[in-house]
């Protein structure tokens, strides 16, 4: 059982509050390395995403939605806890130092890693569970592979998936350095397969998600679907490759290749989830949020500059669609929002408040989504590998890398091509002061990551 922190969540239910009246289901769909333009509805002509496009037409397209880091582990940790990675010591999370790769610890959790998301942190799943929601996760976790760090210790009653990226296996191109073990597939905390066929991971995670919805249609639930793709190695089921080529030829949209087929299969997955919600009669009161953990490695972030691993917009501004027919009006929303906002937003919708002594960085985004209010954030900070590199304030972004300062007006220059720092010294000084204040506050209030002595890679569970 999770520790006493669950008791800290003070619920504010009134006697008349019912599920149907105000407590929505919540589905979070998180992809891996999907760029800003890797959806048709975000301008991508190399992909075909009819289901997500329809979701965007019926919901809101969030065009200034950010993740807190341009890499898997710190981004996911921030989303799960509502905190910048630096606050929870997950900005350089791995305990494994590989000298041939970097003098610094590797920036994502690896196999047999002694570091992970601290079990003392409050997660979205624990907020949901404390409020009486059923919780399930299907897909890639990547917040620590030791038993103490698994989803089942972080508020999820059900988990079927992989503990980290599907390239962390003996087939990794740099495995002579890493010596990764076979990739484990878990059911709860038990390894049930080694080296599962990655061609079918998207399909298997989707089938479990659909089953979860069907079983819990009559009670509130939080469902987290974390796809392993389009992170490399790029794969798709043979059936979906064939279907994608047929559709591509029929519509004249999309480009040939496994990347686009993988995106098409993710879109199929979203379609299956949305279809199931309608079939079960819970479509209107279910929030579905689709987004990515960081920018692209293989795809496109156009018109943004940068990609995965960069604090340019393309590394951290991600394609995002949210749909809730009962409350959120359809249309584009360009206000600055973040993945860290998910936890406090959901906590409020679930009918609860967070502990008074819990410091988080996310904000309730419902006034912005429903009423068109301004962004709840004055500043948003960009960091990579534990190094603060930038800040956004309104339309202004200051980026400082290797001592070089660059100021951009994102409303006029979304591609970050024109450095206007020399024309606006007062804004540069304001944003530098904000970065200094942020670093000082984070250093003073960092909460430690979880640490396990003598970690071992996961292996097949004995019968």
CB 355 within 8 A of CB 335: no
- What pLDDT, on a 0 to 100 scale, did the predictor assign at position 370? 97
* SS3 call for 124: helix
Q: Could you give the CA distance from residue 29 to residue 332 in angstroms, rounded to a whole number?
A: 19
Whether residue 16 is contained in a domain is answered as no
Q: If you average pLDDT over every residue of the chain, what do you get?
A: 93
Sign of dihedral through CA atoms 138, 144, 147, 151? negative
Instruction: State pLDDT tens for residues 330-340.
Output: 999 999 999 99
Which CATH number is 426's domain given? 3.40.720.10
112 has a pLDDT exceeding 50 = yes
End-to-end CA distance of the chain: 23
Instruction: State pLDDT tens for residues 134-188.
Output: 999 999 999 999 999 999 999 999 999 999 999 998 888 777 778 889 999 999 9
Whether residue 15 is contained in a domain is answered as no
329 has a pLDDT exceeding 50 = yes
Q: Could you give the CA distance from residue 114 to residue 96 in angstroms, rounded to a whole number?
A: 8
Q: Could you give the CA distance from residue 462 to residue 226 in angstroms, rounded to a whole number?
A: 27
- What pLDDT, on a 0 to 100 scale, did the predictor assign at position 94? 86
CB 273 within 8 A of CB 206: yes
- What pLDDT, on a 0 to 100 scale, did the predictor assign at position 463? 52
Active site residue 142: yes
Strands (E), 23-100: 25-31, 60-62, 65-66
Q: Mean per-residue pLDDT for 48-55?
A: 98
Number of domains in the chain: 1
Whether residue 18 is contained in a domain is answered as no
* Of 46, 83, 109, 142, catalytic: 142
> DSSP string covering 313-344, please?
HHHHB--EEEE-TTTPPSEEE-S-EEGGGHHH
21 has a pLDDT exceeding 70 = no
- What pLDDT, on a 0 to 100 scale, did the predictor assign at position 178? 81
Q: Could you give the CA distance from residue 199 to residue 262 in angstroms, rounded to a whole number?
A: 9
Instruction: Write down how long the chain is.
Output: 463
462 has a pLDDT exceeding 60 = no
Q: What percentage of the chain exceeds 90 in pLDDT?
A: 87
Q: 105 pLDDT band (50/70/90 cuts)?
A: low
4 has a pLDDT exceeding 90 = no
Strands (E), 9-93: 10-11, 25-31, 60-62, 65-66
- Find the domain containing 174 and state its range: 23-451
Angle at 450 between CA 447 and CA 451, to 5 degrees: 125
Q: 461 pLDDT band (50/70/90 cuts)?
A: low
Largest pairwise CA distance in the chain: 68
Whether residue 170 is contained in a domain is answered as yes
Instruction: State pLDDT tens for residues 66-100.
Output: 999 999 999 999 999 999 999 999 998 888 876 65
- Rounded to 10°, the helix 342-349/72-81 angle is 30
Q: Mean per-residue pLDDT for 224-245?
A: 97
CB 216 within 8 A of CB 134: yes
Range in 166-180, 308-322, 446-460 the model is least confident about = 166-180
- What pLDDT, on a 0 to 100 scale, did the predictor assign at position 14? 30
Distance of CA 255 to the CA centre of its chain: 26
| Cβ count within 10 A of residue 191 | 17
Q: Mean per-residue pLDDT for 193-219?
A: 97
Q: What are phi and psi of 211, to 5 degrees?
A: -60, -40
Range in 19-23, 290-294, 349-353 the model is least confident about = 19-23
Q: Could you give the CA distance from residue 350 to residue 23 in angstroms, rounded to a whole number?
A: 5
CB 104 within 8 A of CB 131: no
Whether residue 462 is contained in a domain is answered as no
* Of 72, 109, 216, 384, catalytic: 72
CA 271 vs CA 29, 54, 275, 290: distances in Å: 12, 9, 6, 12
- Find the helix or strand (DSSP H, E) in which 206 lies: helix 201-215
Residue closest to 29 by CA, chosen among 79, 82, 92, 63 = 79
Q: Where are the alpha helices (DSSP H) in 142-190?
A: 175-178
Q: Mean per-residue pLDDT for 335-360?
A: 94
Whether residue 13 is contained in a domain is answered as no
Higher pLDDT, 437 or 352: 437
**Contacts for 142 with CB less than 8 Å, ≥ 6 apart:** 72, 73, 76, 108, 109, 163, 164, 165
Q: Could you give the CA distance from residue 290 to residue 272 in angstroms, rounded to a whole number?
A: 14
Q: What percentage of the chain exceeds 70 in pLDDT?
A: 93
């Amino acid at each position: 059982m999770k520790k006493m922190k669950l008791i800290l969540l003070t619920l504010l239910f009134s006697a008349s509050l019912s599920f149907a009246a105000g407590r929505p289901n919540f589905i979070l769909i998180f992809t891996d390395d999907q760029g800003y333009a890797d959806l048709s509805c975000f301008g991508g002509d190399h992909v075909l995403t009819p289901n997500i496009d329809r979701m965007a037409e019926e919901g809101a397209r969030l065009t200034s939605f950010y993740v807190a880091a341009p890499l898997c582990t710190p981004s996911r940790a921030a989303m799960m806890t509502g905190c910048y990675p630096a606050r929870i010591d997950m900005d350089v999370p791995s305990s494994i130092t590989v000298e041939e790769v970097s003098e610094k610890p590797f920036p994502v959790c690896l196999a047999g890693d002694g570091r992970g998301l601290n079990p003392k942190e409050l997660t979205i799943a624990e907020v949901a569970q404390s409020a009486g929601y059923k919780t399930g996760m299907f897909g890639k976790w990547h917040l620590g592979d030791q038993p103490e760090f698994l989803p089942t210790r972080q508020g999820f009653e059900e988990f079927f998936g992989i503990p980290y990226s599907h390239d962390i296996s003996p087939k990794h191109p740099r495995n002579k350095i890493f010596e990764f073990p076979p990739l484990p597939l878990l059911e709860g905390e038990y390894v049930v397969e080694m080296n599962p066929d990655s061609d079918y991971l998207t399909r298997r995670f989707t089938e479990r998600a659909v089953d979860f919805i069907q079983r819990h249609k009559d009670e509130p639930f939080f469902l987290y679907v974390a796809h392993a793709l389009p992170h490399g190695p790029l794969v798709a089921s043979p059936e979906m490759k064939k279907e994608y080529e047929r559709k591509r030829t029929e519509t004249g949209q999309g480009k040939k290749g496994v990347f686009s087929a993988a995106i098409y299969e993710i879109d199929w997955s979203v379609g299956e989830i949305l279809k199931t919600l309608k079939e079960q009669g819970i479509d209107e009161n279910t929030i579905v949020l689709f987004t990515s953990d960081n920018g692209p490695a293989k795809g496109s972030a156009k018109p943004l500059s940068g990609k995965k691993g960069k604090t340019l917009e393309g590394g951290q501004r991600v394609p995002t669609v949210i749909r809730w027919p009962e409350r959120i009006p359809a249309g584009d929303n360009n206000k600055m929002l973040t993945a860290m906002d998910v936890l406090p937003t959901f906590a409020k919708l679930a009918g609860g408040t967070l502990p008074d002594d819990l410091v988080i960085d996310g904000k309730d985004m419902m006034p912005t989504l429903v009423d068109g209010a301004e962004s709840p954030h004055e500043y948003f900070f960009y960091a990579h590998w534990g190094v603060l590199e930038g800040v956004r304030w309104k339309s202004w972004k200051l980026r400082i890398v290797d001592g070089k300062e660059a100021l951009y007006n994102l409303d006029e220059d979304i591609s970050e091509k024109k450095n206007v720092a020399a024309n606006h010294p007062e804004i540069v000084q304001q944003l530098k002061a904000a970065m200094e204040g942020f670093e000082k506050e984070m250093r003073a209030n960092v909460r430690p990551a979880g640490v396990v002595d003598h970690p071992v890679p996961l292996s097949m569970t004995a019968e």
